[in-house]
Amino acid sequence: MKILVCISSVPDTTAKISFSDNNTSFNKEGVALIIGPYDDYALARAVELKEESGGTLTVLNVGTSETEPQIRKALAIGADDAIRVDAEPTDSFFVAEQIAHIAKEGNYDLIMMGRETTDYNSGVVHGIVGQILGIPSLSPVMELTIEGNTAKISREIEGGKEKLEASLPLVLGCQEPIAEWKIANMRGIMSARKKPLNVVPPVGEALTSVTNYSMPPEKGACKMIPAEEAEALIELLRKEAKVI
């Protein structure tokens, strides 16, 4: 089985968000980048599938050279090789176009992604890729087992879940508890340095672009209610906040 795992490189959730150049660019200074947390689940399950049934595991990122530490980390966790499409991943369609292009050339059985990136939370790249390739896309996937050419999947739906069976090839957007996040061990980190990382130029063009960033207004102070008078809260929610 040939597996392609697509990882995004996103600011750590605890990172302080600020903008520069008159609010036209995201200030990356001092911001720690991580593999998208959902993508990390996809990667973890892909590593397990490879261990169970053999095959190859390639990781793909659309990004500039600053994402190389995240790619190396994915290699250390267990991917065999990596591809980086050398471009800023600002537009969902553009990112999907790159992934579809690579996927077509590589003939993968499974294309695994996270359900969404944690910076823009779009949750659309897998669907666009599936459509371009003419194969089904399913998300958010919580369980995945492969039997021969069939994938057995459980997918979250609002208020519950759905069990599905589908034949490969497939595009999947993954989330927990599909697998536990994996940590690279020393041997993995050493071998990752020697694994191939191919950098390729992008195809096509972005359909959207960010023109400006802005911040929401500051939150007002929290009104404290003594525990002994907790009932008073309900009155405030009704008369002051008007939410019940």
Partner 1 sequence: MSVLVYAEIAEGTLKNTSLEAIYYGSKVAEQTSQSLLVLAIGKAENTALEIAGNYGASKVLHANSSNLEVANIVAYSDVLTQAAEKFDSKIIITAKSSLADAVTARTAGALQAGVVGNVTELPDLSNGFTVTRSIFTGKAFAQTSINSDVKILGLKKNAISPEVSDVKATIESFNAEISEGAMNAKVVDTIKATGVVPLPEADLVVSGGRGLKGPEHWQPLLDLADALGASTACSKPVSDLDWRPHHEHVGQTGVKIAPNLYIACGISGAIQHLAGVNSSKVIVVINTDPEAPFFKAADYGIVGDAFEVLPKLTAAVKALN
The listed partner (partner 1, ligand AMP, none) that binds 186, CB under 5 to 8 Å by sort, is: none
If binding is defined by CB under 8 A, does position 22 make contact with partner 1? no
Q: Is 38 in contact with 121 (CB distance < 8 Å)?
A: no
If binding is defined by CB under 8 A, does position 28 make contact with partner 1? no
Q: Is 58 in contact with 6 (CB distance < 8 Å)?
A: no
# binding residues, partner 1 (CB under 8 A): 84
Number of neighbouring beta carbons within 10 Å of residue 149: 11
Q: How far apart are CA 29 and CA 238, in angstroms?
A: 44
Report which residue's Cβ sits closest to ligand AMP.
114
Contact positions with ligand AMP (CB under 6 A) in 7-36: 7-8, 36
Contact positions with partner 1 (CB under 8 A) in 195-234: 206-216, 219-220, 222-227, 230-231, 233-234
Kindly state the DSSP code that residue 199 receives in the 8-state scheme.
E
Least distance (Å) between residue 88 CB and ligand AMP: 9
If binding is defined by CB under 8 A, does position 137 make contact with partner 1? yes
Buried b / exposed e along 161-198 (16+ C-beta atoms within 10 A)? eeeeeeebbbbbbbbbebbeebebeeebeeebeebebe
Q: How far apart are CA 36 and CA 118, in angstroms?
A: 6
Beta-bridge partners for 34? 10
Nearer to partner 1, 33 or 93 (CB): 93
If binding is defined by CB under 8 A, does position 65 make contact with partner 1? no
Contact positions with ligand AMP (CB under 6 A) in 50-69: 60-63
Q: Is 142 in contact with 177 (CB distance < 8 Å)?
A: yes
Least distance (Å) between residue 123 CB and ligand AMP: 5
Contact positions with ligand AMP (CB under 6 A) in 98-117: 113-114, 116-117
Residues contributing to the site for ligand AMP (CB under 6 A): 6-8, 36, 38-39, 60-63, 89, 92, 95, 113-114, 116-117, 120, 122-126
